C-alpha cells in the first residue's frame, strides 16, 4: 500500500518537475501570448458642413443596449426583461428574449445607436432596477440632420470589416474623404480573462486614437434646397421619373448644389431593402445622351479652330444624308441661308453636322477630349464614371457617327461632365475641376483650404466670349423663351435626347435638359437641369427651361446678384 502511494506520488512528482521546470519557458511564453489581446479603439468621425458651417453629417454620442444573459439568468426572468425592453424600444419581444435567454453568454447586443427619448427611457428603467443584467454601453451614431438634403453629395456610412464598430463611408463625400473623416484608430493591448475582460494585474498599453477631421463643402444649403425643391416640382409637374439639377460656380469649379431624384435618407440606409435607383448619384455616376446641349461643344470647336464665324451662313436642309444615314432637324424644316447664331436658335441638327463636317473628325474628337468627355472630371465624390465616347478609329465608330455626335447623340456623358465643359465657356475658356469640398478642418482646429484647380484651357478667351454672345443672341431670338429670367442676362442651350434602349430609341419619351449660366457680366452660376422621361411634355424647351429660370432667379436672389441696369 505504501509502495502504491509512493509510486503515485512519484508519477505526480515527475509530472510536476516536467511542467514546472522542463516545459516552463515554453508554457510561460504560450500563456503570455494567449493572455495578451490587442483591440482597436474607434476614432471619432469628423463632421461634414456646408459652406456656411451648417451641419450636414455628424457623429453623435449614443448608447448601445447590452444584456448579460448569465446575470439575467441568475437574477431574474429573461422573458420579463425582454418584454420590458421591447416595450421601451419597440422591438420584437420574442427575438429579444431569445438573445437574452442564452446563459452561456455574458454579452449580447439588443440595440445600438440609440439617442434621445428611447435611450433616456432605458436608462431610467435601469436606474429604477427594472432591467437587471442590462446595461448601456457608449456608442456612436452618424446623424444627418437635414435628412435627404444633398444625400448624394454627403453620402452615407456603413459598418467596416476591419474591427467591430468601424465606420466606413459608402458613398459621396463620406466615401471619398473616408480617410480624412475617419481618423486613425487607437490600440489598446492588455491581458484578458476568459470572458474578455482586462486583467488588472496584467500588462496594459494604450495608444489613443486620432480623431477624424471635418470636411467643409462648397455646397450652399440654400442653393441645395432650391435645387431639390425645383427638381421635385418639375418632376411632379411633368410626370417625370427622375432628374438631376446641378448648380456650380464655373469660375472655381465649386459645386453649389447637386440634387437627384429619386433620393434616399442617409440616416436610414439600414431600412432600405436593397440599393435601388435612389442611391445612384445621377449627376456623376450615371450617363445619358446630352442631345442638343452638346451643340455648344461642336460650335465651340468650330469657332476655336476658325472654321466658322458667328455670321457664317449655310443652308440648313430639313434632312441630310451623311455617309448613308439620314439626319433630320427636330422640326424637319429647311432653313435656307442661316447664320451660326440661328443654328443655335433653331437647334438645327443639320447645322451642327455642317460644323462638324467642316472641321473634320480629328479636330472634332480632339475638342471633345479637351472638353473632358470620356474621362472622369476628378470630382471628389465616390463612384464617378467616365462616360462613353467613340472616336474615329475606335471599334464601333462609323462615319455617320460624326454627324450624330455633333448634336449630342451616340455619345454618353454624365451631367457633371457637361456642366464642367459648358463651365469652360462661361469661364473665358478655362475648364475648372469640379469639387464639392472647400476645406478640411483638422481635429485640432487647423483649417486647410482646398484650392480650386483649372483642368486646362479648352478654348481661347475670344472663342468663349464670342460663343456666349451667340448663345445670348440665339436665345433672344427664340419665341416665348421659358429660360429667360427677367432682369438678368443668361446664356444657355436646351437639349432633348431620345432614350436608347436595347439598341432602339424609345418613342414618346425623352431626356429634357437645359444648361446655362449667368449673369453674363461675369458668369458665376451655372445650372444644368436634366428631367428624365417627362410625360406631360417632350422638349427641353418646355420641360427644363422654366425650371432653369426659376432655379437661376432664386439663386441670384440668394447670392444678391444685382440685376442688370438699363433697358430690359
Partner 1 sequence: MSSRTGQWLAGRLPNWPSRDPYLLLLSFVLPLGGVVLVASARVPVVLGADSVFERVSVQQMVLAAVGVALALTLSAVNYQRYARIAPVALVGMLIALVGVLFVEDATSLFAARRWYRVGDLTVQPSEFAKVAMVVMLAAMAQQFGGRIRELRVSILYMGGVVALVVIPIVLEPDLGAAITIAFVGFVMIFAAGARLWHLLLGFASLVPVAFVSVTQNSYQRERLLTYLSGDPDINRTGYQAAQAQIAMGSGGITGRGLGLGTQKFRLPIPDSDAVFAVLGEEFGLVGTGLVLVLFLALFVRGIQIAAATEDVFGRLLAIGIVTQLCFQAFVNMAVVTGLTPVTGITLPFISRGGSSLLASMILMGILMNVARQSDLGRST
Residues that bind partner 1 (CB under 8 A): 1-2, 5-6, 8-9, 11-13, 15-17, 19-21, 23-28, 30-31, 34-35, 73-74, 191-194, 197, 199-202
CB of 24 to partner 1, least distance (A): 5
β 108-114/134-143 pair status:
unpaired
Q: How many helices (H) and strands (E) would you count in the chain?
A: 17, 23
Cell numbers representing residue 391 in the block:
472616336
CB atoms near residue 558 (< 10 Å): 15
Phi, psi values for residue 309, rounded to 5°: -130, 165
Give residues with Cβ within 8 angstroms of 24, minimum separation 6: none
Nearer to partner 1, 70 or 385 (CB): 70
The alpha carbon dihedral of 113, 118, 122, 128 has a sign of positive
CB of 81 to partner 1, least distance (A): 16
Nearer to partner 1, 23 or 453 (CB): 23
Residue 52 and residue 220 in contact, taking contact as beta carbons nearer than 8 Å: yes
Closest alpha carbon to 46 in 38, 56, 37, 36? 56
Tell me: cis bond preceding 495? Omega within 30 of 0 counts. Answer: no
Distance of CA 73 to the CA centre of its chain: 48
CB of 86 to partner 1, least distance (A): 24
CB atoms near residue 91 (< 10 Å): 15
Nearer to partner 1, 5 or 568 (CB): 5
Closest alpha carbon to 184 in 58, 40, 382? 40
Nearer to partner 1, 26 or 507 (CB): 26
CB of 31 to partner 1, least distance (A): 4
Residue 530 and residue 260 in contact, taking contact as beta carbons nearer than 8 Å: no
CB of 184 to partner 1, least distance (A): 30
d(CA 124, CA 118): 10
The alpha carbon dihedral of 357, 362, 365, 370 has a sign of negative
Nearer to partner 1, 60 or 73 (CB): 73
Distance of CA 502 to the CA centre of its chain: 28
Nearer to partner 1, 2 or 522 (CB): 2
Nearer to partner 1, 34 or 206 (CB): 34
Nearer to partner 1, 196 or 477 (CB): 196
- Strand, coil or helix: 489: coil
Closest alpha carbon to 281 in 536, 558, 530? 530
Nearer to partner 1, 11 or 94 (CB): 11
By CB atoms closer than 10 A (0-12, 13-18, 19+), residue 10 is exposed
Nearer to partner 1, 191 or 278 (CB): 191
Closest alpha carbon to 527 in 483, 557, 497, 564? 483
Question: What are the E-state strand segments in 340-446?
Answer: 430-432, 437-441
Q: Name the β-bridge partners of 495.
A: 513
Nearer to partner 1, 77 or 232 (CB): 77
Nearer to partner 1, 12 or 233 (CB): 12
Q: Name the β-bridge partners of 163.
A: none
CB of 25 to partner 1, least distance (A): 8
CB of 67 to partner 1, least distance (A): 17
d(CA 405, CA 403): 6
CB of 61 to partner 1, least distance (A): 26
CB of 38 to partner 1, least distance (A): 17
CB of 257 to partner 1, least distance (A): 56
CB of 105 to partner 1, least distance (A): 15
Residue 88 and residue 118 in contact, taking contact as beta carbons nearer than 8 Å: yes
CA atoms within 13 A on the CB side of 152: 27
CB of 157 to partner 1, least distance (A): 34
Amino acid at each position: 500500500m505504501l509502495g502504491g502511494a509512493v509510486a503515485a506520488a512519484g508519477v505526480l512528482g515527475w509530472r510536476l518537475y516536467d511542467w514546472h521546470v522542463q516545459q516552463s519557458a515554453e508554457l510561460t511564453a504560450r500563456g503570455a501570448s494567449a493572455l495578451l489581446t490587442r483591440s482597436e479603439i474607434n476614432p471619432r468621425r469628423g463632421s461634414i458642413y456646408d459652406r456656411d458651417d451648417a451641419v450636414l453629417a455628424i457623429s453623435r454620442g449614443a448608447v448601445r443596449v447590452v444584456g448579460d444573459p448569465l446575470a439575467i439568468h441568475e437574477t431574474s426572468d429573461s422573458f420579463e426583461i425582454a418584454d420590458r425592453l421591447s416595450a421601451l424600444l419597440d422591438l420584437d419581444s420574442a427575438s429579444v428574449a431569445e438573445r437574452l435567454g442564452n446563459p452561456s453568454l455574458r454579452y449580447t447586443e439588443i440595440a445600438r445607436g440609440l439617442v434621445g427619448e428611447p435611450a433616456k427611457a432605458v436608462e431610467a428603467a435601469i436606474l429604477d432596477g427594472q432591467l437587471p443584467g442590462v446595461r448601456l454601453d457608449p456608442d456612436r451614431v452618424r446623424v444627418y440632420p437635414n435628412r435627404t438634403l444633398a444625400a448624394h453629395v454627403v453620402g452615407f456610412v456603413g459598418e467596416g470589416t476591419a474591427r467591430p464598430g468601424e465606420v466606413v463611408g459608402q458613398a459621396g463625400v463620406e466615401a471619398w474623404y473616408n480617410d480624412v473623416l475617419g481618423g486613425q484608430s487607437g490600440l489598446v493591448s492588455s491581458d484578458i480573462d476568459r470572458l474578455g475582460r482586462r486583467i488588472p494585474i496584467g500588462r496594459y498599453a494604450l495608444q489613443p486614437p486620432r480623431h477624424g477631421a471635418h470636411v467643409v463643402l462648397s455646397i450652399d444649403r440654400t442653393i441645395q434646397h432650391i435645387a431639390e425643391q425645383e427638381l421635385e416640382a418639375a418632376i411632379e409637374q411633368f410626370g417625370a421619373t427622375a432628374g438631376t439639377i446641378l448648380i456650380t460656380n464655373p469660375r472655381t469649379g465649386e459645386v453649389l448644389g447637386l440634387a437627384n431624384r429619386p433620393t434616399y435618407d442617409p440616416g436610414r440606409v439600414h431600412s432600405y431593402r436593397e440599393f435601388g435607383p435612389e442611391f445612384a448619384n445621377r449627376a456623376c455616376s450615371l450617363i445619358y445622351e446630352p442631345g442638343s446641349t452638346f451643340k455648344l461643344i461642336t460650335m465651340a470647336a468650330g469657332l476655336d479652330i476658325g472654321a466658322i464665324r458667328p455670321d457664317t451662313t449655310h443652308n440648313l436642309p430639313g434632312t441630310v444624308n451623311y455617309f448613308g444615314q439620314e439626319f433630320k432637324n427636330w422640326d424637319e424644316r429647311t432653313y435656307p441661308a442661316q447664320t451660326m447664331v440661328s443654328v443655335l436658335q433653331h437647334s438645327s441638327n443639320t447645322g451642327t453636322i455642317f460644323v462638324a463636317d467642316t472641321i473634320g473628325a480629328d479636330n472634332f474628337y480632339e475638342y471633345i477630349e479637351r472638353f473632358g468627355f470620356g474621362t472622369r472630371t476628378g470630382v471628389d465624390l465616390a463612384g464617378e464614371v467616365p462616360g462613353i465616347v467613340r472616336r474615329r478609329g475606335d471599334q464601333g465608330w462609323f462615319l455617320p457617327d460624326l454627324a450624330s455626335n455633333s448634336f449630342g447623340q451616340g455619345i454618353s456623358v454624365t451631367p457633371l461632365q457637361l456642366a464642367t465643359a459648358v463651365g469652360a465657356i462661361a469661364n473665358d475658356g478655362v475648364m475648372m475641376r469640379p469639387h464639392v469640398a472647400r476645406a478640411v478642418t483638422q481635429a485640432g482646429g487647423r483649417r486647410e483650404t482646398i484650392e480650386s484647380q483649372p483642368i486646362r484651357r479648352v478654348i481661347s478667351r475670344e472663342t468663349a466670349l464670342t460663343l456666349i454672345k451667340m448663345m445670348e443672341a440665339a436665345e433672344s431670338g427664340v419665341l416665348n423663351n421659358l429660360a429667360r429670367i427677367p432682369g438678368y442676362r443668361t446664356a444657355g442651350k436646351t437639349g432633348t435626347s431620345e432614350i436608347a434602349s436595347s439598341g432602339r430609341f424609345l418613342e414618346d419619351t425623352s431626356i429634357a435638359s437645359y444648361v446655362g449660366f449667368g449673369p453674363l457680366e461675369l458668369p458665376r452660376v451655372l445650372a444644368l437641369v436634366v428631367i428624365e422621361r417627362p410625360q406631360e411634355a417632350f422638349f427641353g424647351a418646355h420641360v427644363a427651361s422654366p425650371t432653369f429660370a426659376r432655379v437661376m432667379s432664386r439663386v441670384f436672389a440668394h447670392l444678391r446678384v444685382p440685376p442688370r441696369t438699363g433697358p430690359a
